[in-house]
Amino acid sequence: MGSVGLPQFSVFGEYYNTIDGKLSSTQQTRHGINPATGKPNPEVPVSTPQDVDAAVDAAKRAFKTWSKVPWAERQEALNKFADAIEKHGDDFAKMLTQEQGKPLMFAKAEVAAGVQWTKTLSSFNLEEEVTTSDDGTKEIHVRYTPLGVSVGIVPWNYPIHLACGKIAPSLVTGNPIIIKPSPFTPYCDLKLGELAQQFFPPGVVQVLSGDDNLGPWLTAHPGPDKISFTGSSFTGKKVMESASKTLKRVTLELGGKDPTIVCPDVNIAEVAPKIATLAFMNSGQICLAIKRIYVHEDIYDPFLKAMVEHTKTLKVGDGSEEGTFLGPVQNSMQFEKVKTFYAQIEKDGQKVAVGGVNEEKPGYFLTPTLVDRPAEDSKLATEEPFGPIVPVMTWKDEAEVIERANNTKMGLGASVWATDLQRANNIARQLDAGSVWVNAHLELDPRFPFGGHKESGMGFEWSLAGLKAYCNVQTLYLKKTA
């Protein structure tokens, strides 16, 4: 583990782990791929079990002092950290496009979201709740005390936003954190770690990059007290199993198969383009993207036509090119996985409304695709492609469409579109999902809880209530006389 000290932050060409306040690399290194060009990105460390031990030890030492730093000082440090992310926003956004593939305008929006989430989540106060007994002889205090060391495991679709959504609540509640980015997108997260060293004592924010061994090493390690995981439901189950051996606290933010229900009274010209946009943002690689579209049969044909027309205007290409709406799929594994959904079109004899496969090698490009009424039990209608291919189905009866929307193991997001708000509200309340919108989708706010029902997650993050998931609860009974 070679340590290189703390160079001036701003060099977005070199990438290091941050362990115990120092930048370090490893003997063996690896690199991600720019998904738009297929070209290698810079080398990053491949952390070893010794690096994991060193980071956990440093975090445990840091916990002793960081947990005692007054709440307001922790808030102030996080605020300054957020300002610094904003200051380096252009560099972060450029690197994000290069490593993740998303168009630059969305990369900038993700940096802004990281800043906003850091500021908002660190603005909360978890104050002691005090109850005094009727006779005044006793006080009962409910205290929220930090758990210890957190590990934040981050996926490749929103590396900055999701890392910030873990760093801020962990730190403000007094818990040092070790961030583990996806091997596909380690760059911006490593830079967040490097930048953080200017605002927090050694061991409070550490970032380790590595290969597929690193996540399991961290979840199995006896040192950490909490795992905040965002990723697929498949991996989430493994994380929970591993964390159960030491009874680590676990928060799981997992996959989705979000339904959207379109009522017959909508303004088609306004709503259809919005829904197509929300389905294809980030090339469909959003846990909360619209992944099933149910349109009332009375307006099905014109609504589908309007979505098709809008979809044709969405430019696919390198995210660094002006006007691109859909960048490439993020990595080759995901590209191959999404292509199996495209291959199913021919196998099942499905009808394509717009799109189809259109590979522009060497990047991992796919055209946005709407499939017209695939079978309700087809792979496309039941599984999460996590790519730009979406089924469109019809509905007639309200109770039946609610049942179809809920007929999935997932329960992350859902939405209803209608002019009749009472009807929309009534449908929305019957949808089994953690975030439900009327006349919108994907509009998130860090002041409110975010989490999934069923196999879309366990617990929730963000909001004042989300902060409690980084805390133990202590009930302190104070009697005034012995």
Of 75 and 230, nearer to ligand NAD (C-beta) is 230
Least CB distance to ligand NAD at residue 178 (A): 12
Q: What SS3 state is found at 110?
A: helix
Give the Cβ contact number of residue 420 at 10 Å. Answer: 12
Both tokens assigned to 457:
């997650």
Q: Does 259 bind ligand NAD (CB under 6 A)?
A: no
- CB of 413 closer than 8 Å to CB of 405: no
Q: Does 239 bind ligand NAD (CB under 6 A)?
A: yes
Torsion angles phi and psi, residue 107, rounded to 5 = -65, -40
Q: Number of residues in contact with ligand NAD, rule: CB under 6 A? A: 28
Span interacting with ligand NAD, options 25-33, 131-139, 147-155, 462-470, rule CB under 6 A: 147-155
Span interacting with ligand NAD, options 32-40, 153-161, 199-207, 339-347, rule CB under 6 A: 153-161
Touching ligand NAD, residues 40-59 (CB under 6 A): none
Of 287 and 299, nearer to ligand NAD (C-beta) is 287
Least CB distance to ligand NAD at residue 17 (A): 15
Of 175 and 242, nearer to ligand NAD (C-beta) is 242
Least CB distance to ligand NAD at residue 238 (A): 4
Span interacting with ligand NAD, options 34-42, 104-112, 231-239, 387-395, rule CB under 6 A: 231-239
Q: Does 255 bind ligand NAD (CB under 6 A)?
A: yes
Q: What SS3 state is found at 143?
A: strand
Both tokens assigned to 427:
């449908």
Q: Does 183 bind ligand NAD (CB under 6 A)?
A: yes
CA distance 161 to 69: 25
- Give the long-range contacts of residues 122-129, CB within 8 A, separation 24 or more: 122/74, 122/75, 122/78, 122/79, 122/82, 122/168, 122/169, 122/171, 122/172, 123/75, 124/172, 124/463, 124/464, 124/467, 125/71, 126/71, 126/173, 126/464, 126/467, 126/468, 126/471
DSSP 36: T
DSSP codes, 366-399: ---EEEES--TTSHHHHS---SSEEEEEEE--HH
Q: Does 216 bind ligand NAD (CB under 6 A)?
A: yes
User: Residue 218: what residue type?
Assistant: L
Torsion angles phi and psi, residue 86, rounded to 5 = -60, -45
Least CB distance to ligand NAD at residue 435 (A): 10
Of 53 and 265, nearer to ligand NAD (C-beta) is 53
Q: Does 215 bind ligand NAD (CB under 6 A)?
A: yes
Give me the catalytic one of 99, 110, 253, 384: 253
Of 137 and 246, nearer to ligand NAD (C-beta) is 246
- CB of 242 closer than 8 Å to CB of 224: no
Site for ligand NAD (CB under 6 A): which residue of 16, 124, 156, 335? Answer: 156
Site for ligand NAD (CB under 6 A): which residue of 26, 97, 118, 235? Answer: 235
- CB of 139 closer than 8 Å to CB of 227: no
Instruction: Please indicate whether residue 43 is annotated as part of the active site.
Output: no
The CA dihedral of 80, 83, 84, 89, to the nearest 10 degrees, is 160
DSSP 325: -
Peptide bond into 362 cis (omega under 30): yes
Residues in the chain: 482
DSSP codes, 190-205: HHHHHHHTTTS-TTSE
Least CB distance to ligand NAD at residue 257 (A): 9
Q: What SS3 state is found at 263?
A: coil
Residue closest to ligand NAD (Cβ): 215
Span interacting with ligand NAD, options 5-13, 64-72, 232-240, 310-318, rule CB under 6 A: 232-240
Touching ligand NAD, residues 366-405 (CB under 6 A): 384, 386
Span interacting with ligand NAD, options 40-48, 50-58, 247-255, 339-347, rule CB under 6 A: 247-255
- CB of 418 closer than 8 Å to CB of 299: no
Of 54 and 151, nearer to ligand NAD (C-beta) is 151
Q: Does 287 bind ligand NAD (CB under 6 A)?
A: yes
Instruction: Return the closest-CA partner of residue 293 out of 364, 354, 222.
Output: 354
Least CB distance to ligand NAD at residue 76 (A): 28
Of 21 and 101, nearer to ligand NAD (C-beta) is 101
Of 227 and 370, nearer to ligand NAD (C-beta) is 227
CA distance 6 to 63: 22
Span interacting with ligand NAD, options 45-53, 91-99, 213-221, 440-448, rule CB under 6 A: 213-221
- Angle of helix 104-121 versus helix 71-87 axis, rounded to 10: 170
Least CB distance to ligand NAD at residue 184 (A): 7
Looking at the chain, the number of H-run helices and the number of E-run strands are 15, 23
Of 215 and 374, nearer to ligand NAD (C-beta) is 215
Enumerate the active-site residues. 253
Contacts with ligand NAD by CB under 6 A lie at: 153-158, 180, 182-183, 215-216, 219, 230-232, 235, 238-239, 253-256, 287, 384, 386, 412, 452, 457
